[in-house]
Amino acid sequence: AQKVTQAQTEISVVEKEDVTLDCVYETRDTTYYLFWYKQPPSGELVFLIRRNSFDEQNEISGRYSWNFQKSTSSFNFTITASQVVDSAVYFCALSEAGQNFVFGPGTRLSVLP
């Protein structure tokens, strides 16, 4: 069965600090997809990134970067120079062939001014 673990329930940082959100997944499939979503206080879920299991290249998008390591089944998310607007709950998710999305429990990030 597929599973997503986000061990950090809550993280607080001060603005401009870097922060890494951890995501560890379990799957028996060789083909799978990993995602990160952001849920700001307003409540909507915003897609951030998708990675497939064959693409281990790390990705950078502005202040956001993702580190995908199959060897440790991790797909960590780093925010550089955090801002107050980054305050949100961040969800990691996994989908396998023929299965639906499974979301992790989420990490609540608070960025303090």
Partner 1 sequence: DSGVTQTPKHLITATGQRVTLRCSPRSGDLSVYWYQQSLDQGLQFLIQYYNGEERAKGNILERFSAQQFPDLHSELNLSSLELGDSALYFCASSAHGTVPTGELFFGEGSRLTVL
Q: Judged by CB, which is closer to partner 1: 18, or 47?
A: 47
Stretches 54-62, 65-73, 75-83, 94-102: which one binds partner 1 (CB under 8 A)? Answer: 94-102
80 binds partner 1 (CB under 8 A): no
> How many CB atoms sit inside 10 A of residue 49's CB?
16
Question: Which residue in 5, 11, 105, 108 binds partner 1 (CB under 8 A)?
Answer: 105
Return the amino acid letter for 111: V
- Whole-number minimum distance, CB 54 to partner 1, in Å? 12
Q: Judged by CB, which is closer to partner 1: 15, or 39?
A: 39
Q: How far apart are CA 97 and CA 103, in angstroms?
A: 15
Residue 72 φ/ψ, nearest 5 degrees: -110, 10
- What Å distances lie between residue 23 and 9, 14, 48, 106, CA to CA? 11, 22, 14, 9
Question: Which residue in 35, 75, 77, 90 binds partner 1 (CB under 8 A)?
Answer: 35
28 binds partner 1 (CB under 8 A): no
Contacts of 48 (CB under 8 A, 6+ apart): 35, 36, 37, 38, 64, 77, 90
| # of chain residues touching partner 1 (CB under 8 A) | 24
Binding site for partner 1 (CB under 8 A): 33, 35, 37, 42-47, 50, 52, 91, 95-106
